[in-house]
Amino acid sequence: MDYENTAKKILQRVGGKDNVINLVHCMTRLRFTLKDESIVDDEAVKKTKGVMGIMKKGGQYQIIIGNDVGNVFNELNKLGNFSNEVKEVPVKSNEKKNIFTMLMDTISGIMAPVIPAIIGAAMIKVLLTLLPMIGVLSTNGQTYQLLSVIGDGAFFFMPVLIAISASKKFGTNMYYAASIALIMLHPNLITLMNTAHDAGQTVKFLKYIPVTYASYSYSVIPIILAVYSLRYVERFVDKITPVVTKNFLKPMLVVLIEAPIALIILGPLGAICGNGLSTVVYAIHDKLGFIAIGLVAGVYPFVVMAGMHHAFTPIKLGMIATTGYENFICIGELCSNMAQGAASLAVALRSKNKDFKQIAGSSAFSALFAGITEPALYGVTLRLKRPMLGACIGGAVGGLVGGFFQMKCFGIATPAIVTIVQYVEKGKPQTLLFAALTILVTVVVTFVATLIIGFEDIVDEDDDLDFVEESNAQLLDNEISITSPVEGKVIPLTEVKDSTFAQEILGKGAAIIPEKGVVYAPFDGKVDAVFETGHALGLVSEDGVELLVHVGIDTVNLKGKYFTPKKKSGDTMKKGDILLEFDIDKIKANGYDVTTPIIISNTEQFAKVKACEDKVVTKESKLLSVQ
C-alpha cells in the first residue's frame, strides 16, 4: 500500500484538514472527529485504495484500514499535524441516538485507545499461563512474581488509563483526570475502605457524609462518570477564581471539589451501574445457558460493525476481577473471530482474482492467529455478503460447542489461536482440548458453509475515484523539467496554510517561501492569464504544461497593491524572463503570508508529477518534473 497516497486521498475526501477536529486510531480504524460529517463523500472514501469500509459512531467518523492503520495514521499526521487534544468545536451530525446508544458509544470510544495497553498486559498473562505449563518458569520464583506485576499493572490501574482517554473525549484537563483516578486507587484509601467494610462500618467525610464502599481497581464506569463531571467543575472554578489567583487557587479547588464528588457520589454510582450492566448480561447467559453463547457468536460481527465491541470490555474485566474468569462474551468472541478467519480462508481458496485472493488470505491469517477481524469483516465477508452468512453459521455452531463444554476465559487477550492458553483452567488440562475442539468445529463448519453458499467473485478492484493520473494518464517518453519561477525555500504543498492548495485540489506541485520579489518564466511558452489583481499568473509551456504561480495566501484582498506585472495575458515568454515583481516586505507588513504555491494545473494529463528534493532554489534550479 502507498501509505502517503492513501492518506492524501482520505484527508481530501473527509473534507480536508480544516474539517478535522481530532484524529486517533485503534487496532484497525482511523477515528476522525469532524466539524461537519455532511460534507464527506462516503462513497469516495470507501473506494480509496486501502480502505475497507467506514463507520459512523459516537460522534466519530471511523475509517477501517486494517493492520496498516498505524502507517496511514502517521502519514495523515504529516499532512495535518493533528493533535490528540479535543477542541471545543461544534460538530455537525445528523445521527440521532437514544440514551443507551449514546452510553455504549461513549464507553466504546473511550475504551478503544486503551486497548493496545490492555492487550500488551493480557499477553503477559498468557505467557504466565503458558511458560509454567511447558516447565520453563516456576510459579514460586521471583521472576514469576515480577512478571505477574507487569501483566497486572494495566488492569489494576485501569482507571488511570481510562481517565486519560476520557479526558480527550470530554475535553477536560488530562492531568486533573489522572489525579482523580490516582486518588481513587491510593493504597491508603483502599486500606481505609477495606478496614471499615470488614468491621461493618462506614467511612464518613466531614463526620456526617457517608462514603459508600467500592473497589475501583479494574473498573471503568466510575472514572468515566468522574471525568465527565470534571469538565463542569473546571468551568465553574474557572469562573469564580480571580485571574491573579488562577495559577494556584484553581488547581486546588478543582481537585478539592471533584475528588469528594467522585468518591461520595459518582464512584459508587458507577460501580452500581457497572454491576447492574454485568448482571443483565449474565442473566441472559444464566437463562439460556450454552445457547446464549451460540447466539452471541453468531451476531458478534454486527456488534463489531456497530463499533460496540469495546463496550463489553468493562463487563469482562469486572467478571474476571470478581470470579477469576469469564465464560460468556469471551467464548462468543473467540468463535466469531475464528469464523471470520475461516470464511476469508474459503474465499482465498475459491477466488480467481489474484489481488483479492491475497487480501482474503492475509485477512484470514490476521483473524485466526491474531484475532484482528476488521480486515476479514470489512474487506472480505461483508463486502461479498454471502460469506458473512457462512461466518455467522459457523460462529453460532462453535459457540454452542464451547458453551456445551462450559469453556472459561482467564485472560482478556484478543481471542485467537495464539492465545488459546487463556482458555485453559489450572489443574484441568482437558480444557485445552475443549478449546481446540471448539476452534476446530468453528473453522470447519464456517469453511464448508462458505464454500456451499458461494459468493460472487471480485473481477477487478473498484477504484474509479482514484486520482486520474494514476488510471488514465500515460507516461511520457521524456521527462519535462520545470525550473523554479521564484527563488527561496521550498516546502511541500501540504504545509501551505490554505486547504485548496494543501489538499492538491488545483493540482500537484510545490510551494516556495520567496526571498526575492520576482517571478521568472520557468520555461519557453505563453502567459495564458494574468489575474487582474496581479497576484497570480497562469502559464503554458510549449510542451503543454499548464502552471499556476500564486504569490501569497489570500493576497487577492490587496487588490493589486504591491504587485507589478511585466507581462500581460497572451504574451509569449522565454525562460528567465521577468513576469512579475512584488514587494515582499510590504505584503508581510499588511499581515499576509507570502508563501507561493506553484501548481501543475493540468496534473490529470500526466502520469507523474514530482517536486525536487532541494530545500532552497534559484531561478536556475529544477523545481518540478512531469512525465
Do residues 258 and 180 share a domain? yes
Q: Which of the four pLDDT bands, split at 50, 70 and 90, describes residue 363?
A: confident
Confidence at residue 383, expressed as pLDDT on a 0 to 100 scale = 79
* Degrees to nearest 5, angle at CA 397 with 391 and 403: 130
d(CA 359, CA 349): 11
Examine the pLDDT at 484 and tell me if it is beyond 70. yes
Residue ending a domain, among 74, 96, 118, is 96
Same domain as 312, residue 243 = no
Average pLDDT over residues 558-570: 90
Instruction: Tell me: do 263 and 320 sit in the same domain.
Output: no
Q: What is the CA radius of gyration of the chain?
A: 30
Q: Per-residue confidence at 88, pLDDT binned at 50, 70, 90? A: very low
- Give the mean pLDDT of 42-67: 79
Q: What is the pLDDT of residue 49?
A: 81
Give the per-residue pLDDT at 218: 82
pLDDT at 7 over 50: yes
pLDDT digits (tens, 9 = 90+) for 472-482: 454 555 778 89
Query: d(Cα 111, Cα 314) in Å, to the nearest integer?
Result: 9
- The CATH number of residue 89's host domain is 3.30.1360.60
pLDDT of residue 101: 59
The confidence score (pLDDT) of residue 310 equals: 65
In the chain, the percentage of residues whose pLDDT exceeds 70 is 90
Phi, psi angles (nearest 5°) of residue 427: 80, 0
- Reported as a single tens digit per residue, the pLDDT across 607-618 is 788 888 778 899
The answer to whether 419 and 411 are in contact (CB under 8 A) is: yes
What mean pLDDT do residues 25-42 have? Answer: 81
pLDDT band of 503, cuts 50, 70, 90:
confident
Q: Is residue 448 part of a domain?
A: yes
Evaluate if residue 58 carries a pLDDT over 70.
Answer: no
pLDDT of 25 above 70: yes
Mean pLDDT for the stretch of residues 520-540: 90
Q: What are phi and psi of 352, to 5 degrees?
A: -105, 0
Mean pLDDT of 218-223: 85
Q: What is the pLDDT of residue 85?
A: 45
Domain end residue (candidates: 421, 453, 485): 453
User: 85: closest CA among 161, 17, 11, 171?
Assistant: 171
User: Nearest-5° angle of CA 337, CA 339, CA 345?
Assistant: 110
Out of 24-33, 176-185, 291-300, 586-595, least confident range? 24-33
Interatomic CA distance for residues 583 and 563, integer angstroms: 7
Average pLDDT, the chain: 85
Q: What is the pLDDT of residue 393?
A: 96
Band of residue 86 on the pLDDT scale cut at 50, 70, 90: very low
- 178 shares its domain with 259: yes
Residue 332 is part of which domain span? Answer: 289-453
| Buried b or exposed e, range 116-129, using 16+ CB within 10 angstroms | ebbbebbbbbbbbb
Q: How confident is the model at residue 91 (pLDDT cuts 50, 70, 90)?
A: very low
For residue 330, what pLDDT is reported?
92
Q: Helices in 464-569 by DSSP H: which ranges? A: 468-471, 499-502
**Mean pLDDT, range 60-64, rounded to an integer:** 84
What 3-state DSSP class applies to 473? coil
20: which DSSP letter?
E
> How many whole angstroms separate alpha carbon 242 and alpha carbon 486?
52
Tell me: pLDDT of 623 over 60.
yes
User: Per-residue pLDDT tens for 190-213?
Assistant: 999 999 989 999 999 998 999 988
* 22 φ, ψ (degrees, to nearest 5): -155, 145
Please answer whether residues 71 and 7 qualify as being in contact, where contact means their C-beta atoms are separated by less than 8 angstroms: no
Distance CA 287, CA 266 (A): 31
- Three-class secondary structure of residue 94 per DSSP: coil
Looking at the domain assignment, is residue 467 inside a domain?
no
Amino acid in position 619? K
Q: What is the mean pLDDT of residues 379-398?
A: 91
Q: Is 197 exposed, middle or buried (0-12, 13-18, 19+ CB in 10 A)?
A: middle
Instruction: Over range 502-511, report the average pLDDT.
Output: 82
Query: Within 13 Å of residue 211, how many CA atoms lie on the same side as its CB?
Result: 21
Considering the domain architecture, whether residues 17 and 71 belong to the same structural domain is answered as: yes
Separation CA 342–CA 347 (nearest Å): 9
- Taking residues 580-592, report their average pLDDT: 91
Whether residue 130 lies inside any domain: the answer is no
Is the confidence at residue 307, as pLDDT, over 80? Answer: no
Judge whether 388 lies within some domain.
Answer: yes
Q: Which of 26, 335, 392, 409 is catalytic?
A: 26
CA 449 to CA 433: how far, in whole Å? 24
The predicted structure's pLDDT at residue 460: 47
Do 513 and 546 reside in the same domain of the chain?
yes
Q: Which three cell numbers stand for residue 150?
A: 507487569
26 is annotated as an active-site residue: yes
Q: Which amino acid appears at position 546 of this protein?
A: E
Give 160's contacts (C-beta < 8 A, 6+ positions apart). 178, 181, 182, 185
**Is the pLDDT assigned to residue 31 strictly greater than 70?**
yes
Q: Are residues 442 and 301 in the same domain?
A: yes
pLDDT (0 to 100) of residue 311? 66
SS3 category, 388:
helix
Distance between CA atoms of 166 and 180, rounded to whole angstroms? 12
Residues of the chain with pLDDT > 90: what percent?
38
Please indicate, yes or no, if residue 114 is contained in any of the structural domains. no
Query: Do residues 344 and 376 both lie within one domain?
Result: yes
Model confidence at 42: pLDDT above 60:
yes
**Residue 100 confidence (pLDDT):** 57
For residues 32-47, average pLDDT: 84
Q: How confident is the model at residue 463 (pLDDT cuts 50, 70, 90)?
A: very low
Average pLDDT over residues 388-399: 95
- Domain edge (last residue) among 226, 252, 280: 280
Same domain, 549 and 500: yes
Q: Quick one: pLDDT at residue 20?
A: 87
Residues 202 and 193: their CA atoms lie apart, in Å, by 8
Helix (H, G, I), strand (E, B) or coil at 325: coil
Answer yes or no: do 308 and 370 share one domain.
yes
- Amino acid symbol at 154: A
User: CA 532, CA 522: separation in Å to the nearest integer?
Assistant: 21
Q: Is residue 395 part of a domain?
A: yes
Q: What is the mean pLDDT of residues 295-305?
A: 84
In this predicted structure, what is the pLDDT of residue 1? Answer: 66
Same domain, 220 and 356: no
Q: Nearest CA to 285 among 236, 332, 228?
A: 332
Q: Which of the two residues, 115 and 567, has the higher pLDDT score?
A: 567
The answer to whether residues 331 and 448 belong to one domain is yes
More confident residue, 499 or 145: 145
Q: Smallest Cα–Cα separation from 579: which of 623, 621, 616, 548?
A: 548
Query: Do residues 192 and 155 lie in contact, with contact meaning Cβ atoms separated by under 8 Å?
Result: no
Give the residue among 383, 39, 501, 48 at the shortest CA–CA distance from 30: 48
The secondary structure of 48-89, three-state, reads: CCCCCEEEEECCEEEEECCCCHHHHHHHHHHHHCCCCCCCCC
* pLDDT tens-digit series, residues 436-448: 999 999 999 999 9
Q: How far is CA 565 from the centre of its chain?
A: 48
Using CB atoms within 10 A of its CB, is residue 95 exposed (0-12), middle (13-18) or buried (19+)? Answer: exposed
Most confident of 21-30, 142-151, 396-405: 396-405
In sign, the C-alpha dihedral spanning 598, 41, 104, 294 is: negative
Q: Give how many domains the chain has, as a whole number.
A: 4
Q: Is residue 228 in some structural domain?
A: yes
Contact partners, residue 430, CB within 8 Å, separation at least 6: none
